[in-house]
Amino acid sequence: MEILLVDDDAIDRETVKRALSKNEYAPRLHEVCSAEEGLKAVENKRFDVLLLDYRMPKIDGIEMVIELRSRPNLGEMAIVMMSNSDDEVLALSCLQAGAQDFITKSEITPAKLHRAIIQAKKRFELEKKLYDSFCQVRELAEKDSLTGLSNRYHFEEALKVSIANNKRSQHNIALLLLDLDHFKNVNDTYGHETGDNLLKHVVDRISLCLRGNELFGRLGGDEFAILITGLTFANSATAVAQRIIQSLEVPIEIDGHIIQCGVSVGIAMHPQNADTAETLTKYADIAMYRAKKQGRNQLCYFEELMQEQFSRNYQIEIELKKSIKNKDFELHYQPVINTKSKEMVGFEALIRWPNCSLKSTPDEFIPIAEQSRLIDKIGEWVLDTAIKQLSVWQTKFNAELTMAINISAIQLVHTSLTSSIEQLLAKYHVAPESIVLELTETALLSQDEESSSRRIAQLNDLGCKLALDDFGTGFSSLSHLLNYPINIVKLDKSLLPQSNAEIRHLAIVKGIAVMASTIGLHIIAEGVETQFQHELCCQLNADEIQGYFFERPLSAVAIEKKWLQT
């Protein structure tokens, strides 16, 4: 028998050792003099019994018991607590914390200690058996035995708790109900065993589409449910559902049969659609029924508006894919004007999608392209086209012209961005300092912050100018301006007031302009539409201005005609 003795008092340890040495079994004893060392010792070695002093500095005996009992398998050892006091209340607290016996140190004799050890060991074995069967019962009550997922009961309880918790937060909950298409045919054709195997494979595939913080349950038969909490946008549920549908498009091989198994998904949202677990489930069920009716293997939102939004986004995504192949985009260029000289110093390249049947604008299709990662291809095309155009104009008209290009957060994460820009600059003989890369604050805050900031540093080293776009709309955080090598801030159009009557508005934009110029940033005001705004920008000492007051974004041909002919 292996025994661990934890006591800070050397004399008491000696007493215990002496008592044990008289023991005919002569157990093997390992001694340490603090709870911290004791916890370390049990990490490295398995003990049968722990003899534990109650009163110790820092971590006392009871705290050590609580820590051990919270571990898997209850820490795997019987515990006998020892104390100088024979206080009954203390003895009870030790047992409640999870010790099996308590003896006062003055009582220690070889026989008594031996009995306490043997009885504690026996008691612990019994308690462990009870604990194991409790775990088994809980597993049976909460888990589906075929797939190991939460069962209907557990899922519904968890849904109720999540809804109650969500009422205090600003976030959304999505409930996805999934039903396999034509699962009955599989059972009828190949038998139930194959059907069960298919369900297990489907669960594996779906699990790979989840991040791990969702609750995934089997409600029965071929019906599954997924609960996603803490969502900022309803679209995030779309992405999960689409991944699941796609993952099941690849046939599954089971027992020599190739089986294609689609899935219909219905989605309802809390708090938008319903307040209670029952209603939310009913609505997700209605949505799933609609998905099945519309031809299966698709997803459907309960709310019509959400469904319309989803359908439109989906159509746009499909059309974007086609347009990327056919190179159906154009770039328009908006002149950037120097405030003092009133001369045009460069352009901002803005993408246009002229033949889009859904008449989508960049504010709509760029976020969709970002979500579906189609932005990578689009971004490459934008960079190539804009840099090539600048090269032509610099050679033909003015070598000093600059080109501002919008870079999405997704592009910024890619390691290849810097080298591809470098290659384009070399290919078209353009100097890096004539390129302004426009980033938004969200790009700086992207999930992969480390690789974004590495990229920003590389782009700065390359010699390109970096602008923070849309400043004044998001966080407008000073720390972003200070922590990143940003050269330019672009004040967003929403910051510009319409008249002197908007006193607060005026004060804010003045404050931001002073702050930006104090830390040495170049200021560009965008969205200047009126004479008043133009004059205001001059007063604010904005270095450059951009807006309909001077010119709208125009095609390359129109720019040449109106702005570049001498």
Distances (CA, A) of 559 to 240, 335, 478: 44, 8, 36
Token pair of 318 as six digits: 């499909």
Q: Distance between CA atoms of 491 and 541, rounded to whole angstroms?
A: 12
Q: Which of 361, 395, 499, 500 binds ligand C2E (CB under 6 A)?
A: 361
Token pair of 240 as six digits: 């999960």
Q: Which of 179, 214, 470, 544 binds ligand C2E (CB under 6 A)?
A: 470
Q: Characterize 52-81 residue by residue with b for buried, 16 or more Cβ atoms within 10 angstroms of its Cβ, and e for exposed.
A: bbbebeebebbebbebbeeeeebbebbbbb
Using CB under 5 A as the binding rule, whether residue 372 contacts Mg ion is answered as no
Long-range contacts at 289-295 (CB < 8 A, ≥ 24 apart): 290/266, 291/264, 291/265, 291/266, 292/179, 292/181, 292/264
Q: Which of 181, 370, 438, 544 binds Mg ion (CB under 5 A)?
A: 438
The per-type count for the chain, helices as H runs and strands as E runs, is: 21, 20
Give the interface size with Mg ion as a residue count (CB under 5 A). 4
Of 118-126, 391-399, 418-426, 431-439, which segment contacts Mg ion by CB under 5 A? 431-439
Of the candidates 442, 461, 462, the one whose C-alpha atom is nearest the C-alpha of residue 452 is: 442
13's contact among ligand C2E, Mg ion, none, with CB below 5 to 8 A by partner kind, is none
Using CB under 6 A as the binding rule, whether residue 474 contacts ligand C2E is answered as no
Using CB under 6 A as the binding rule, whether residue 335 contacts ligand C2E is answered as no
Measure the CA angle with vertex 520, ends 515 and 523; round to 5°. Answer: 70
| Residue whose CB is less far from Mg ion, 105 or 480 | 480
| Residue whose CB is less far from ligand C2E, 82 or 421 | 421
Closest CB 418 distance from ligand C2E, rounded Å? 17
| Residue whose CB is less far from ligand C2E, 297 or 476 | 476
Q: Which residues contact 89 (CB under 8 A, 6 or more apart)?
A: none
Residues 210-269 that bind ligand C2E (CB under 6 A): none
Using CB under 6 A as the binding rule, whether residue 334 contacts ligand C2E is answered as yes
| Residue whose CB is less far from Mg ion, 197 or 406 | 406
Amino acid identity of 221?
G
Closest CB 342 distance from Mg ion, rounded Å? 22
Closest CB 476 distance from Mg ion, rounded Å? 13
Q: Which residue has the tokens 């849904």?
A: 159
Q: Which of 49, 254, 366, 488 binds ligand C2E (CB under 6 A)?
A: 366
Closest CB 273 distance from ligand C2E, rounded Å? 31
| Residue whose CB is less far from ligand C2E, 53 or 492 | 492
Using CB under 6 A as the binding rule, whether residue 363 contacts ligand C2E is answered as yes
Using CB under 5 A as the binding rule, whether residue 172 contacts Mg ion is answered as no
Using CB under 6 A as the binding rule, whether residue 493 contacts ligand C2E is answered as yes
Cβ 393 vs Cβ 429: under 8 Å: no
Cis peptide before 354 (omega within 30 of 0): no
Using CB under 6 A as the binding rule, whether residue 372 contacts ligand C2E is answered as no
Of the candidates 29, 26, 35, 42, the one whose C-alpha atom is nearest the C-alpha of residue 6 is: 35
Draw the binding track, 532-551, toward ligand C2E (x: CB under 6 A; -: no contact): --------------xxx---
SS3 at position 175: strand
Q: Which of 408, 434, 452, 476 binds ligand C2E (CB under 6 A)?
A: 408
Q: Residue 430's Cα: distance from chain center in Å?
A: 38
| Residue whose CB is less far from Mg ion, 7 or 469 | 469
**DSSP string of 256-276?**
TEEE---EEEEEEEETTT-SS
| Residue whose CB is less far from ligand C2E, 443 or 481 | 443
Using CB under 5 A as the binding rule, whether residue 470 contacts Mg ion is answered as yes
Closest CB 526 distance from ligand C2E, rounded Å? 6
| Residue whose CB is less far from ligand C2E, 270 or 490 | 490
Of 23-31, 148-156, 480-488, 524-532, which segment contacts ligand C2E by CB under 6 A? 524-532
Give strand ranges (E) for 235-366. Answer: 252-254, 257-259, 263-270, 299-301, 330-338, 344-352
| Residue whose CB is less far from Mg ion, 158 or 435 | 435
Amino acid identity of 347?
F
Give the interface size with ligand C2E as a residue count (CB under 6 A). 22
Distances (CA, A) of 562 to 342, 387, 388, 551, 565: 15, 20, 20, 10, 7
| Residue whose CB is less far from ligand C2E, 297 or 385 | 385
Closest CB 506 distance from ligand C2E, rounded Å? 18
Distances (CA, A) of 249 to 235, 256, 259, 265, 486: 21, 18, 10, 14, 45
Draw the binding track, 494-513, toward ligand C2E (x: CB under 6 A; -: no contact): --------------------
Q: Distance between CA atoms of 163 and 156, rounded to whole angstroms?
A: 11
Residues 337-356 that bind ligand C2E (CB under 6 A): 350-351
User: What is the DSSP code (8-state) at residue 122?
Assistant: H
| Residue whose CB is less far from ligand C2E, 124 or 365 | 365
| Residue whose CB is less far from ligand C2E, 98 or 335 | 335
Most distant pair of Cα atoms in the chain: their distance: 110
DSSP lists the bridge partners of residue 523 as: 489
Residues that bind Mg ion (CB under 5 A): 406, 438, 469-470
Q: Summarize as ranges the residues that interact with ligand C2E (CB under 6 A).
A: 334, 350-351, 361-363, 366, 382, 406, 408, 438, 469-470, 493, 526-529, 546-548, 553
